[in-house]
A and B are shown apart, each in its own frame.
Chain A
Amino acid sequence: MALFVKFWGTRGSIPTPGPATSRYGGNTACVEIRVDDSLFICDGGTGLRELGLDLMKRARGRPIVGHLLFSHPHWDHIQGFPFFSPIYQPANTFHIYGFARGDQRIFRLLSGQMRSDYFPVDFSELSATIHHAELPTGQGPIDGVYVRAMPQLHPGGSWAFSFEAQGKKVVYATDHELDLHLDDREKSMRDPAAPRVLPGSLVDFVAGADLLIADGQYTDEEYKTKVGWGHPRATTVVDLAVAAGVKQLAITHHDPMQTDVDVEKKIAACRVRAAARAPEMVVFAAREGVELKLA
């Protein structure tokens, strides 16, 4: 079994191309997870465009089958879908998931953004076979991988996903304002060095992950004016990862105002925080174009 994770978009809110963001990338949220021949795509931000081109190149004419899981339908997580070239090829098949019985919200919104008012190609013109699929209880096997979905705190709601296969676990948890779960949030903002205690249900969902890919949009300083905006302090994510015994933590959904230098400073602060309590945990900034193998 080979499990690969590749980052195609690590930016939040809006794409931010340019020299100041070239190292970590300016494409919005998109992560590819491959377990042997099974393909999962988490979110369809602008990074989905380049993933699509790469899939077509790798496929060499063979049909592509993929499972698309969208954390939520905010623009930065769906805007790449119309530019995902495999959806224009008739041999390909994609499954777009809802996580409750009858939940077709994502499917409707994806198709809705491809209407003539917004986009010159209508959803009905797509050549690939595109199914609405469901995990009606929020969890279940998909193509040999056990997938769970967990609701998160974000304006309009969002989902985290965990993927387990043959003893390996990857969690994708973006757009979750973890800090709103803190009983003592105000105190933790006055004393950011103090450990932050997160609900057991969140820790359990992430427990033992070989890789946690999590939204860490804000620094401690930035968050002071962003409470309620739907994204956490990166340092709060560290505390969740430590409590859950995560082996590797990839901080993603970098704020559009953060340059590469700013991202590195944010991660440095996270590493200092992690080193005190979980020195073995690897903490890094998710970076476009990086692929990990969880052997």
Chain B
Amino acid sequence: MGSSFDNWDRTIPGSLPMHDLQRLARAAALEQIRGPGAPQRHLLLEDTVVVGRSEGQIRIASGELSRSHMRMERQGPEWVCTDLDSSNGIYLNGVRIHSAVLREGDMLQLGDVILVFHAGG
């Protein structure tokens, strides 16, 4: 059969380690609702994640993003976003900020990209 069946056994939940599933299910995320590639969900699986046009773990191909635009950093149970001296800045719920401790549902605008922060479990 075609390649779609090559890894079919990986769809059986029991074949994946439970802690990996839980880690994915509980991960904080940036839900991209506008901008190139939207809609899509970017999971925050490392303690420090850089978002940018061409650098970092989350790359969004928008000309309005700087190469490295924003850093997401886990500090204890919280996530902090910081502007990496980008050209178009970060707007948190409509207000331009340098950095912020994020809360569930916060909307981040980076140029023409809009991301909604989800804190995870």
A residues sitting closer than 8 Å to B (CB atoms) are 4, 22-23, 248, 282, 284, 287-293
Whole-angstrom distance between the Cβ of A16 and the nearest chain B Cβ? 16
Could you tell me if B98 and A288 are in contact, using CB atoms closer than 8 angstroms?
A: no
Chain A residues closer than 8 Å to B97, beta-carbon distance: 290-292
CA distance A22 to B106 in the complex (A): 12
Instruction: Name the B residues within 8 Å of A22 (CB-CB).
Output: 103
CA distance A4 to B80 in the complex (A): 16
Known pairs A248-B95, A290-B99, A293-B98 / 17 extra A-B pairs, C-beta < 8 Å = A22-B103, A23-B103, A282-B94, A282-B96, A284-B95, A288-B101, A289-B78, A289-B101, A290-B95, A290-B97, A290-B100, A291-B98, A291-B99, A291-B100, A292-B96, A292-B97, A293-B83
B100 touches A4 (CB 8 A): no
Which of B94, B96, B98 touches A4 (beta carbons < 8 Å)? B98
Task: Using CB atoms, name the residue of chain B closest to A283.
Answer: B95
Closest residue on chain A to residue B100 by CB atoms: A290
Interface of A is mostly: strand
- What CA separation (Å) do A288 and B95 show in the bound complex? 14
Bound: A293/B92 CA distance, A: 13
- Interface size range of chain B in the complex: 10 to 19
27 example contacts (A-B, Cβ-Cβ < 8 A) are as follows: A4-B98, A22-B103, A23-B103, A248-B95, A282-B94, A282-B95, A282-B96, A284-B93, A284-B94, A284-B95, A287-B100, A289-B78, A289-B80, A289-B100, A289-B101, A290-B92, A290-B95, A290-B97, A290-B99, A290-B101, A291-B99, A291-B100, A292-B96, A292-B97, A292-B98, A293-B83, A293-B98
In the complex formed, the residue of B with least CB distance to A294 is: B98
Assembled-state Cα–Cα distance A138/B80 (Å) = 37
Chain B residue nearest to A264 (CB atoms) is B93
Which residue from chain B places its CB closest to the CB of A288 in the assembled complex?
A: B101
Rounded to whole Å, the gap between the CB of B20 and the closest CB of chain A is 30
CB contacts (< 8 Å) of B95 on chain A: these are 248, 282, 284, 290
Which A residues are in CB contact (< 8 Å) with B100? 287, 289-291
Report B81 CB to chain A, min CB distance, Å: 10
Look across to chain B and name the residue whose beta carbon is closest to the beta carbon of A25: B101
Q: State A22–B101 Cα separation when bound (angstroms).
A: 11
The minimal Cβ–Cβ distance linking A11 to chain B, given in whole angstroms, is 15
Binary flags per residue of B8-35, CB closer than 8 Å to A gives 1, else 0: 0000000000000000000000000000
| A22-B103 Cα distance, complex, nearest whole Å | 8
CB distance from A145 to the nearest CB of B (A): 18
Chain B residues numbered 65-118 whose CB sits less than 8 Å from any CB in chain A:
78, 80, 83, 92-101, 103
Bound Cα distance A248, B96 (Å): 10
Closest 5 CB pairs of A and B: A289-B101, A293-B98, A291-B99, A290-B100, A284-B95
Residues of A within 8 A of B80 (CB): 289
Query: Separation in Å of the B92 CB from the closest CB of chain A?
Result: 7
Assembled-state Cα–Cα distance A22/B77 (Å): 13
- Which residues of B are found within 8 Å of A292, using beta-carbon distances? 96-98
CA of A22 to CA of B78 in the docked complex: distance in angstroms?
12
Q: Which residues of B contact A291 (CB under 8 A)?
A: 97-100
